[in-house]
Amino acid sequence: MQKRTLGKSGLEVSALGLGCMGLSFGLGPAMEKSESIKLIRSAVERGVTFFDTAEVYGPFVNEEIVGEALAPFRKDVVIATKFGFEPDPNNDGKWTSLNSRPDHIRQVVEASLKRLQTDTIDLLYQHRVDKITPIEETAGAVKDLIAVGKVKHFGLSEAGAQTIRRAHAVQPVTALQSEYSLFWREPEASVMPTLEELGIGFVPFSPLGKGFLTGKIDASTKFDSTDFRAIVPRFSEENRKANQALVEVITSFAEQKKATPAQIALAWLLAKKPWIVPIPGTTKLSRLEENLGSVTIELTTEDVRTLEETSSAIKVKGERYPATHAKLIDR
């Protein structure tokens, strides 16, 4: 497995990480715990060293699974988790409230350390920007946790350029995690120039467009009630039918390269910048192996240009988040 360094931080990880959310939360029924642990350990055996989880995935359950799965390999892997949500007392206890106050961060970190069975968190992200708590206070709280050894690196998720700059001035930001793929290229204009300027790594989540770019989802696909995609506008039946044209472009390109659409989508991200580390998630070993195959696919500058020109000609239909989730995105 090739390695990459997230920006100027010195944090070295496998070129492809594993997003663990879908093992227990958000993308349909949860896997059996034993099967989740088996999949994570299979990723380790194949050279993956970068694993992504969060307090809110479950909630709590995902961190416990990741902690147990990686305990035997702890010195050889990098674990990223997140703070920033809490139950909303006005919404049946759903985790829709944001809280990045320093006291809350300290409480979350103590609990996460126990669930992850570790004494330090390698990369701690603010899950969503809390517009009530100044980002300087949040960054300062993480800086204090780094000083005492409970956290090693600070990250942000779905943060805008100005927030990144303000946070970075207090505590250097190692990585930004946001959605980025051939299905959603907005970060190229909004944040990537800032990341490059400041030497911050980029960790794209949903690098396969929440599975759409694999070619395994079409207008006839039925989503389980526990699958987040069931309420995402971009995944309505009508929009899936319209957006199929993008998948066809990627599939055609993949056939020329004797690869799968998923592998091309990931290889494209890897070719964009050396400080980009995608974290595709999966519940299947076969998909894990398919995704890891993207690391050996080298796209030339001409390949990237051709892929971008042909895919950009197709206007993707539908918003990427429902309104309730969209309002949590920092601009």
Q: What is the pLDDT of residue 181?
A: 96
The set of long-range contacts for 252-258, using a CB threshold of 8 Å and a minimum separation of 24, is 253/306, 253/307, 253/310, 257/297, 257/303
Q: Over the stretch 133-144, which tens digit does the pLDDT of each residue have?
A: 999 999 999 999
Q: Give the type of residue at 133.
A: T
**What is the average pLDDT value for the chain, to the nearest integer?**
95
Q: What is the pLDDT of residue 268?
A: 98
Q: Over the stretch 189-201, which tens digit does the pLDDT of each residue have?
A: 999 999 999 999 9
**Ordered structural domains, the chain, with CATH:** 3-326 (3.20.20.100)
Give yes or no for a contact between 153 and 11, defined as CB atoms under 8 angstroms apart.
yes
Q: Over the stretch 6-52, which tens digit does the pLDDT of each residue have?
A: 999 999 999 999 999 999 988 888 999 999 999 999 999 999 999 99
Q: What is the pLDDT of residue 92?
A: 78
Q: Over the stretch 233-278, which tens digit does the pLDDT of each residue have?
A: 999 999 999 999 999 999 999 999 999 999 999 999 999 999 999 9
Give yes or no for a contact between 205 and 179, defined as CB atoms under 8 angstroms apart.
yes
Average pLDDT over residues 321-326: 79
Task: Examine the pLDDT at 324 and tell me if it is beyond 90.
Answer: no
Q: What is the pLDDT of residue 25?
A: 86
Position 210 confidence tier, pLDDT thresholds 50, 70, 90:
very high
Q: What is the pLDDT of residue 263?
A: 98
Q: Over the stretch 49-89, which tens digit does the pLDDT of each residue have?
A: 999 999 999 999 999 999 999 999 999 999 999 999 998 87
Q: In this structure, what token pair is assigned to residue 166?
A: 């303000």
Q: What is the pLDDT of residue 226?
A: 87
User: Would you call 57 a catalytic residue per the annotation?
Assistant: yes
Position 326 confidence tier, pLDDT thresholds 50, 70, 90:
confident
CB-based contacts of 290: which residues, under 8 Å, 6+ apart?
260, 262, 263
Position 90 confidence tier, pLDDT thresholds 50, 70, 90:
confident
CA-closest candidate to residue 238, choices 221, 213, 261: 221
Q: In this structure, what token pair is assigned to residue 308?
A: 């971008």
As a whole number of angstroms, the distance between CA 135 and CA 165 comes to 10
Task: Examine the pLDDT at 123 and tell me if it is beyond 90.
Answer: yes
Position 287 confidence tier, pLDDT thresholds 50, 70, 90:
very high
Average pLDDT over residues 296-325: 92
Q: What is the pLDDT of residue 164?
A: 98
